[in-house]
Amino acid sequence: MAKCSFLQDFKAFAMRGNVIDMAVGVIIGGAFGKIVTSLVNDVLMPLIGMVTGNIDFTTLSYKVGEGEDAAELMYGNFIQNTVDFIIIAFCIFLMVRAITRLTAKKEEPAAPAPAPEPSAEEKLLTEIRDLLKEKK
């Protein structure tokens, strides 16, 4: 019986809107990441390489040490991934900004409050003022 309860709890968890929305977001994010990676690798970095003398950033490295114990630091690949990250972050920022603007409720300006009803004293004073104006 505990097994059935566990499965029911799992089903309730998996069918929540938040979990499904998150799964869709992860899948779309992965696909979007591939598109941006292709943009960086196939479009932007060749242009940047052309400006910098046809340098292929992925092959840039620095060798530390000599012989079999030498380590090769692939700083060019790091530059490539950093540019990739910056572009992905910027694209996500633009998407979130656009979605926020679309989903933000447009607040209508509040109608001005009606003027309060004048008191009996104010009404009497207004009448007296009007009578005095007529006499002049």
Assigned domain for 87 exists: yes
pLDDT tens string 59-98:
888 888 888 888 989 888 888 888 878 887 887 788 888 8
**Number of structural domains found in the chain:** 1
CA Rg value for the chain: 35
Assigned domain for 59 exists: yes
What residue numbers bound the domain in which 96 lies? 2-105
Q: What is the C-alpha to C-alpha distance for residues 22 and 65, in angstroms, rounded to an integer?
A: 46
Assigned domain for 61 exists: yes
**CATH number, domain containing residue 16:** 1.10.1200.120
Assigned domain for 134 exists: no
Assigned domain for 89 exists: yes
Q: What local confidence, expressed as pLDDT, does residue 85 receive?
A: 83
Confidence of residue 107 (pLDDT cuts 50, 70, 90): low
Assigned domain for 94 exists: yes
- Mean pLDDT over 1-5 rounds to 68
Q: Identify the residue with better confidence: 15 or 133.
A: 133
